[in-house]
Amino acid sequence: MQKQPDMGNKNTNLQKAKDAKYDEFYTTYEDILKEVYHYTAHFAGKTVLCNCDDPFESNFCLFFLRHFNVLKLKRLICTSYKSSGVITTRLSLNDNFGKSLSNGFGYVLDVSKFSNTKGVLPEEEVVKFLKRGKAIRILRGDGDFRSDECIEYLKQADIVVTNPPFSLFKEIVATIMQHGKHFLLVGNQNALTYKEIFPLIRDNIVWTGYQFGEMKFRVPASSEPRKIRYWVDATGQKWRSLGNAMWLTNLDIQRRYEYLPQTKRYSPIEYPKYDAFDAIHVRKITDIPCDYAGMMGVPITIVNRYNSEQFEIVGEANHGSDNEYDLFKPTIKGKLIFKRILIRNRNPMTTARFRVLDLFSGAGGFSYGMEKNPNFVTEVALDFNPKAIDTFKHNMPHAETVVGDITNRSVKQKVVELSKARGVNMIIGGPPCQGFSLKGKKLGLADSRNYLFKEYLNLVKAINPEVFVIENVKALLSTSAGWFKDQIIKKVTNMGYHVEYGVLTASDFGVPQSRQRAIFICSRIGVVALPKPTCQKSVTVREAIEDLAYLNSGEGAFEQDYTTKARCKYQRLMREGSTKLFNHKASNHDEIAIRKLRLIPPECGKEHLPEDMLGKQQFSGTWGRLKWDEVSPTIDTRFDAASNGTNNHPFLHRAITPREAARIQSFDDKFVFIGTKVYIRQQIGNAVPPFLAKAIADQIQNCLVR
């Protein structure tokens, strides 16, 4: 851990700070529980120091005593300051000599063990322990956290957890950092811009915790009444609330790795520049544009959404203080703006050459794959299924999404307006074409069952994109001796587009699956041939999912930690940028299904089942297991049913999980599917494999971008 220079001033005593600031705020037990819950793994075998004003009235002491065994603490040390405003207000206690605790002395509680109870201890048991006084003794000094005596306790501790006087917040942080300790502290958000705290935030040495904003605090009886955020409860206890409270820590937590969704685009009208500095003003955190590469002034609350892989903190604009990190006074047309933090996007979305409308988008496989080429970005997506759109929005929040029926006039109008406003010049999608499976040429494109395809082309006419791509079932090209294919080509050609078409096999482009799709690439600015295969050697089922081969039927969870290491290039690629494993939950099969699977050897099928267990399935692939060293057959929307087809695990007695199916579709682990099991399997089974979509995007770029 990086150590910082001591910023404490031992000539300034704690009492003067409190007299000047009236900043004794005592944290509620509920807020401590709510925060510490996220850090439980950090406390096992550790010594915790709570250098509070008075640990015997403080909820920190109470919390850690009650949870001493649950958290598997090694030791708990609580020190008190000599003139606490709350001492003896809730408990009358004695030290280890039987002397009553009182103002004027510092005390220490030092506990290594006091109960054999494994769970959370009742508060009554803690009170009995404290009243015995065996672990409490008077300090030689006043209990100031900067005193030599308290520093010795700090040296023995691993983690400091407390709520210091806000006026001394920067000093306690400096003292803790100087001694290389971890901490979890309650403070005021204003501290984030202090010259002593800000560089620690900027350099990703400390960060905010989970509670950030409104918190209530118990205050001493001597606290002066206030007009707002102040009340006295039925017991006479005085309370204050703060809208800008926070927890600050250097304990690693998942929150700091979460990406802030960026849905806005830069425009000079919406994002004015400051008068004296080359940075744009961003009014709200949710307004941070995804495509601006320069400096941006944002609210200081960005710290609670800060991910160092997404943003770089550059400095602050804090009204011209003496802080070396305070770069300028934030004014716009002479009007002073509240202090800001200056950031940059580490990976701003480039001004993409192709801005996409995704029709019949589903969960977004087509768009997600296209966006793996930086020259493509999806601006608008339409689908009638709100569950699929939930997944789309979760993974591509920058896109404007519309839920609705493409045949509805108002829905079409909204899609056209959004597309024109966001500069759409490309359309993608797979319009269902039910009538294409019928025999006979008389029905044709006039058949009502092909209306969705016609609506797709109507939107092409309205938006006039440079390029559009149609994907559909392979059979579309051969149905009725190719008559439907010829009608499509004729109609699109009459609209002024060059058309190239054919069948693409997903495994030719790095997808571990034999899926085949008919693809039409239509361009009015040049011919775009279908992409050639990019893989000489197919990615196998083993390479796709072997690192996930540990769940049995019914096991797993929506979110979990990785339990194995990646074993090959494809698995490393799938895990890249993902800190958690999502959607890896196995179906809870009936006992009869598991018995059948136990009879089927690895990589085999229903030919190993006795005749009386075959059931009524007519297709040869039912009850089949995937083969490790081959590509998977096409993933459909019922991959989680053991009897459905060849989608059972190569050797485990279960069907593949949604995450395994997603891997076989080439969705990386960052892509999270939202919804119940039924909706998720539909989203995965109906998707265009992202790697196939990327190959199409790459080909369009190669042919049209000069």
SS3 280: strand
**Token digits of residue 685:** 């089974």
Instruction: Please report the sign of the dihedral spanned by the C-alpha atoms of residue 366, residue 369, residue 371, residue 376.
Output: negative
Q: Is residue 84 part of a domain?
A: yes
Q: Is residue 103 part of a domain?
A: yes
Q: Is residue 265 part of a domain?
A: no
Residue 662 CA to residue 396 CA, distance in Å, equals 17
pLDDT of residue 433: 59
Q: Is residue 261 part of a domain?
A: no
Residue 161 CA to residue 271 CA, distance in Å, equals 40
Residue spans of alpha helices (H) in 555-637: 569-575, 591-599
**Residues 157, 181 contacting (CB under 8 angstroms):** yes
Could you say which of 299, 326, 345 is where a domain stops? 345
| Other CB atoms within 10 A of residue 461 CB | 8
**Residues 511, 665 contacting (CB under 8 angstroms):** yes
> Which has more pLDDT, 524 or 475?
524
pLDDT category at 94 given cuts 50, 70, 90 is low
**Residues 542, 649 contacting (CB under 8 angstroms):** no
Kindly state whether residues 394 and 469 are assigned to the same domain. yes
The domain that holds 520 is classified in CATH as 3.40.50.150
Q: Please identify which of the residues 78, 433, 522, 703 carries the catalytic annotation.
A: 433
Residue 292 CA to residue 348 CA, distance in Å, equals 6
Q: Where in the sequence is the domain holding 296, given as residue range(s)?
A: 279-345
pLDDT category at 222 given cuts 50, 70, 90 is confident
Lowest model confidence (mean pLDDT) among 112-121, 242-251, 494-503: 112-121
Provide the phi-psi class of 150: left if phi over 0, else alpha when psi is between -120 and 50, else beta: alpha
- Flag whether pLDDT at 322 surpasses 90: no
Q: Facing residues of 417 across strands?
A: none
Kindly state whether residues 559 and 460 are assigned to the same domain. no
Kindly state whether residues 407 and 528 are assigned to the same domain. yes
Q: Is residue 66 part of a domain?
A: yes
- Flag whether pLDDT at 440 surpasses 50: no
Kindly state whether residues 493 and 474 are assigned to the same domain. yes
SS3 699: helix
Residue 596 CA to residue 594 CA, distance in Å, equals 5
Kindly state whether residues 322 and 370 are assigned to the same domain. no
Phi, psi of 124 (to 5 degrees): -60, -40
Kindly state whether residues 251 and 335 are assigned to the same domain. no
Residue spans of alpha helices (H) in 25-158: 29-36, 59-66, 123-132, 148-156
Residue 49 CA to residue 321 CA, distance in Å, equals 34
pLDDT category at 7 given cuts 50, 70, 90 is very low
Per-residue pLDDT reduced to its tens digit, 160-201: 999 988 889 999 999 999 999 999 999 999 999 898 999 999
Gyration radius of the chain over CA positions: 32
Instruction: Please report the sign of the dihedral spanned by the C-alpha atoms of residue 566, residue 569, residue 574, residue 577.
Output: positive
The domain that holds 113 is classified in CATH as 3.40.50
Summarize the confidence of residues 534-558 as an average pLDDT. 96
| In 53-93, beta strands by DSSP E | 75-79
Q: Is residue 505 part of a domain?
A: yes
Q: Is residue 8 part of a domain?
A: no
Kindly state whether residues 665 and 683 are assigned to the same domain. yes
Residues 6+ apart with CB under 8 A from 358: 364, 366, 367, 378, 380, 381, 382, 399, 427, 428, 429
The domain that holds 588 is classified in CATH as 3.90.120.10
Residue 679 CA to residue 674 CA, distance in Å, equals 8
**Token digits of residue 428:** 């993608």
Kindly state whether residues 487 and 580 are assigned to the same domain. no
Kindly state whether residues 548 and 595 are assigned to the same domain. yes
Q: Give catalytic status of residue 433 as yes or no.
A: yes
Per-residue pLDDT reduced to its tens digit, 469-501: 999 988 888 877 888 788 889 999 999 999 999
What are the CA-CA distances from residue 296 to residues 110, 319, 322, 339 (Å)? 48, 16, 21, 12
| CA-closest candidate to residue 471, choices 456, 491, 459, 458 | 456
**Token digits of residue 219:** 């205050």
Q: Per residue in 485-498, is it b (16+ CB within 10 Å) or e — as a string? A: bebbbeebeeeebb
pLDDT category at 588 given cuts 50, 70, 90 is very high
Could you say which of 319, 345, 371 is where a domain stops? 345
Kindly state whether residues 403 and 324 are assigned to the same domain. no
Number of domains comprising the chain: 4
**Token digits of residue 423:** 């500069």
> Which has more pLDDT, 616 or 127?
127
Summarize the confidence of residues 633-646 as an average pLDDT. 92
| Other CB atoms within 10 A of residue 26 CB | 23
The position carrying tokens 């392979």 is 474
**Token digits of residue 227:** 């007009």
pLDDT category at 345 given cuts 50, 70, 90 is very high
Phi, psi of 371 (to 5 degrees): -75, -5
| CA-closest candidate to residue 391, choices 370, 409, 364 | 364
Within its chain, how far is the Cα of 604 from the centroid?
39
What are the CA-CA distances from residue 36 to residues 24, 54, 260, 370 (Å)? 21, 20, 23, 42
- Flag whether pLDDT at 438 surpasses 60: no
Kindly state whether residues 515 and 570 are assigned to the same domain. no
Give the CA count within 13 Å in the CB-facing half-sphere of 378. Answer: 33
Taking the alpha carbons at both ends of the chain, their separation in whole angstroms is 49
Give the chain's mean pLDDT: 88
Kindly state whether residues 46 and 132 are assigned to the same domain. yes
* The one-letter amino acid at 72: K
The position carrying tokens 């939107």 is 459
Instruction: Please report the sign of the dihedral spanned by the C-alpha atoms of residue 246, residue 248, residue 254, residue 260.
Output: positive
Q: Determine if the pTM surpasses 0.85.
A: no
Q: Is residue 10 part of a domain?
A: no
Q: Percent of the chain scored above 70 by pLDDT? A: 88
